[in-house]
């Protein structure tokens, strides 16, 4: 119960700091942000890992992998 | 209650400020482009594993398996007179696996020990010049014991300064599970005797007879999900994405060839609830450290109503040997609690309503580590101009259940 009371505002403050405190990065300043290794999605070559993880583990989702439908997996 | 209200208000105003600016559309130079092929990705992988807890044999027995997967993705792009960007993404995949435990669908070990899966998909997306995106997609997957049709849609908004992006994706899968059961549970075929009759002209005819095979039925499984992703550029070196997803499943959620043994020595097919709700929450944070090192991190918390709670944490550290070559060691740690319905071999009580001995739903930790090498030469791989990239990745995976696996993948990109 104590955890729940602190968790909601903690997450909210985290979002607030991230979005409100973010710098306005202009396009010409994004050379590092636009680097291929900085992309926020999984590597395409990692799709085979996401597949076996969804078959061999109970958890799935929130990673662009399988969510339980489309396969005889979890 | 006051803390929750202030939090919600703070979130609302911070999101408003990111999207409050207006877009100016410049139509002075107009070029309606034709649909162009922009990218082809070929991804192939080889996976092998071994362990001693096959669900087909009730939680004991070999889990030796190998899988070869191949996918090709072709991307077409078109822009219209107001710089709206249309993307068509066409994919097709083909997997072939061999699994030693699959032979024991028949207890004598004579069942077919291999299988193939074919899975094409098509996705369409439009990125409007005002930062709004909209997408639709459909997918198919077919293998001998499982057939699937998937539909998805997505809607998103990018801020004018392109530092913030919010996207919602809805997915639905309408699947059919073919009820291939262990042989000892299949009713014996019905044998009929031939029948003899005399026609009006006096001819004696013997007809019919043979074996009437039992038809293997199918049963549905439905999966629906909604995921919300928020991406944010924090500064010139740091960006992150937060993903929240809710998944609801209904129908036959087990597999019909998984055996379960009980304390009294009896045997049944696994029986799991017909509904399941999953809630994964993830965060990715990428940071460019100095000029050569990048920190790619990921954390996910997962909980479902089958009793499983799980944490996933991974870190990958690309090191840019040159602007065109990077080497990235990675490590992933995973821990989960057992499902309420799991018990090891011969540990289930006959009075249990739901039961499984599938070790994917047991309590365990796993570790996965390896290395990724990416090569993107300026003049093309092997000096072939349109051969843009090779991405090669190897990892070793192990669970505290004793399962060990290796995975190697390669991505060839042509632009």
| Average pLDDT value for chain B | 90
Q: What is the pLDDT of residue A6?
A: 42
- pLDDT at residue A3 tops 90: no
- In which domain, by residue range, is B396 found? 286-340+363-415
pLDDT band at B199 (very low <50, low <70, confident <90, very high): low
pLDDT band at A69 (very low <50, low <70, confident <90, very high): confident
DSSP conformation class of B85: E
Task: Assess if residue B171 is contained within a domain.
Answer: no
User: B126 CB near a chain A CB, below 8 Å?
Assistant: no
Q: Name which of A8-17, A58-67, B357-366 the model is least confident about.
A: A8-17
Distance CA(B352)–CA(A69), nearest Å, equals 27
Distance CA(B113)–CA(B105), nearest Å, equals 9
pTM equals: 0.86
B143 contacts: CB under 8 Å, gap ≥ 6: A72, B115, B116, B117, B118
Q: What is the pLDDT of residue B22?
A: 44
Chain A hits for B361, Cβ within 8 Å: 58, 74
Task: Assess if residue B306 is contained within a domain.
Answer: yes
3-state secondary structure of A18: helix
Task: Assess if residue B68 is contained within a domain.
Answer: no
DSSP A30-72: -TTTTSGGG-SSPPGGGHHHHHHHHHHSS---SSSS--SSSSS
- pLDDT at residue A17 tops 60: no
Contact B162 A56 (CB under 8 A): no
How far is residue B138 from each of residues A23, A35, B141, B174, measured CA to CA in Å? Answer: 38, 30, 11, 11
Closest CB to B139 among A37, A51, A70: A70
Give the best residue of B247, B287, B403, B405 to mutate against chain A (max A CB count within 10 A): B247
The upper half-sphere exposure of residue B204, i.e. CA atoms within 13 Å in the direction of its Cβ, equals 3
Distance CA(B397)–CA(B8), nearest Å, equals 41
Q: How far is A32 from chain B (nearest CA, A)?
A: 6
Task: Assess if residue B254 is contained within a domain.
Answer: no
- pLDDT at residue B138 tops 90: yes
pLDDT in tens, B43-79: 999 999 999 999 999 999 999 999 999 999 999 999 9
Which residue is closest to B10 within chain A, CA to CA? A16
B385, with CB counted inside 10 A (0-12, 13-18, 19+), is exposed
pLDDT band at A73 (very low <50, low <70, confident <90, very high): confident
Q: What region does B290 belong to: left with phi over 0, alpha with psi -120 to 50, or beta? A: left
Long-range contacts of B96-101 (CB under 8 A, 24+ apart): B96/B67, B96/B68, B97/B65, B97/B66, B97/B67, B97/B68, B98/B65, B98/B66, B99/B64, B99/B65, B100/B62, B100/B63, B100/B64, B100/B65, B101/B54, B101/B55, B101/B56, B101/B57, B101/B61, B101/B62, B101/B63, B101/B64, B101/B65
Contact B43 A44 (CB under 8 A): yes
Distance CA(B333)–CA(B329), nearest Å, equals 14
- pLDDT at residue B28 tops 60: no
Distance CA(B335)–CA(A59), nearest Å, equals 10
Share of chain B above pLDDT 90, in %: 80
- pLDDT at residue B21 tops 50: no
pLDDT band at A13 (very low <50, low <70, confident <90, very high): low
The neighbour count for residue B108, using CB atoms within 10 Å, is: 9
pLDDT in tens, B85-106: 999 999 999 999 999 999 999 9
pLDDT band at B195 (very low <50, low <70, confident <90, very high): confident
pLDDT in tens, B255-281: 999 999 999 999 999 999 999 999 999
pLDDT band at B4 (very low <50, low <70, confident <90, very high): very low
Contact B173 A52 (CB under 8 A): no
B194 contacts: CB under 8 Å, gap ≥ 6: B206, B207, B208, B209
Q: What is the pLDDT of residue B202?
A: 63
pLDDT band at A12 (very low <50, low <70, confident <90, very high): low
B62 contacts: CB under 8 Å, gap ≥ 6: B50, B51, B52, B54, B100, B101
pLDDT band at B12 (very low <50, low <70, confident <90, very high): very low
How much is the ipTM here? 0.83
pLDDT in tens, B280-327: 999 999 999 999 999 999 999 999 999 999 999 999 999 999 999 999
pLDDT in tens, B105-120: 999 989 999 999 999 9
Q: How many domains does chain B have?
A: 1
Tell me the two tokens of residue B396.
């070793």
Asked whether the beta carbons of B273 and B354 are under 8 A apart, the reply is: yes
Q: How far apart are the first and last CA of chain A?
A: 30
Contact B45 A47 (CB under 8 A): yes
Task: Assess if residue B296 is contained within a domain.
Answer: yes
Q: What is the pLDDT of residue B144?
A: 92
User: B139 CB near a chain A CB, below 8 Å?
Assistant: yes
Contact B10 A43 (CB under 8 A): no
Contact A61 B278 (CB under 8 A): yes
Q: What is the pLDDT of residue B23?
A: 47
Task: Assess if residue B326 is contained within a domain.
Answer: yes
The total number of residues shown for chain B amounts to 415
């Amino acid at each position: 119960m104590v955890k729940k009371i602190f968790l909601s505002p903690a997450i909210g403050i985290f979002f607030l700091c991230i979005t409100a405190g973010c710098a306005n990065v202009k396009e010409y300043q994004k050379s590092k942000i636009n680097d291929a290794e900085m992309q926020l999605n999984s590597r395409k070559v990692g799709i085979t890992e996401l597949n076996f993880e969804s078959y061999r583990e109970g958890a799935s989702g929130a990673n662009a992998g399988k969510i339980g439908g489309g396969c005889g997996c979890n | 209650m006051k803390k929750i209200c202030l939090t919600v208000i703070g979130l609302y105003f911070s999101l408003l400020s990111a999207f409050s600016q207006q877009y100016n559309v410049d139509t002075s130079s107009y070029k309606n482009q034709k649909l162009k092929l922009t990218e082809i990705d070929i991804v192939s992988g080889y996976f092998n594993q071994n362990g001693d807890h096959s669900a087909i044999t009730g939680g004991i027995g070999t889990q030796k398996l190998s899988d070869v997967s191949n996918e090709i993705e072709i991307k077409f792009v078109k822009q219209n007179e107001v710089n709206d960007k249309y993307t068509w993404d066409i994919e097709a995949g083909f997997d072939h696996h061999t699994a030693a435990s699959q032979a024991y669908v028949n207890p004598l070990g004579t069942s077919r020990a291999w299988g193939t899966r074919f899975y094409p998909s098509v996705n369409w997306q439009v990125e409007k010049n005002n930062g709004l995106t909209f997408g639709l997609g459909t997918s198919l997957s077919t293998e001998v014991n499982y057939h699937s049709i998937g539909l998805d849609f997505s809607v998103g908004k990018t801020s004018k300064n392109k530092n913030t992006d919010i996207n919602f994706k809805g997915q639905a899968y309408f699947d059919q599970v073919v009820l291939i059961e262990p042989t000892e549970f299949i009713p014996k075929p019905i044998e009929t005797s031939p029948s003899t009759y005399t026609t009006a002209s006096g001819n004696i005819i013997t007809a019919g007879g043979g074996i009437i095979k039992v038809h293997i039925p199918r049963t549905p499984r439905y999966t629906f999900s909604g995921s919300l992703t928020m991406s944010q550029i924090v500064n010139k070196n740091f960006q992150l994405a937060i993903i929240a997803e809710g998944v609801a499943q209904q129908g036959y959620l087990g597999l019909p060839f998984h055996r379960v043994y009980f304390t009294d020595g009896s045997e049944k097919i696994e029986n799991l609830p017909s509904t399941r709700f999953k809630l994964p929450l993830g965060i990715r944070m990428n940071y460019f450290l100095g000029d050569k090192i990048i920190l790619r991190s990921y954390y996910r918390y997962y909980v479902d109503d089958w009793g499983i709670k799980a944490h996933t944490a991974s870190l990958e550290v690309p090191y840019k040997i040159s602007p065109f070559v990077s080497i990235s060691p990675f490590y992933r740690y995973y821990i989960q609690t057992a499902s309420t319905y799991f018990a090891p071999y011969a540990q289930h009580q006959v009075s249990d309503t739901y039961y499984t001995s599938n070790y994917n739903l047991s309590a365990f930790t796993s570790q996965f580590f390896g290395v990724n090498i990416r090569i993107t030469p300026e003049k093309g791989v092997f000096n072939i101009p349109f051969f843009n990239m090779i991405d090669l990745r190897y990892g070793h995976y192990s669970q505290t259940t004793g399962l060990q696996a290796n995975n190697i993948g390669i991505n060839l990109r042509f632009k």
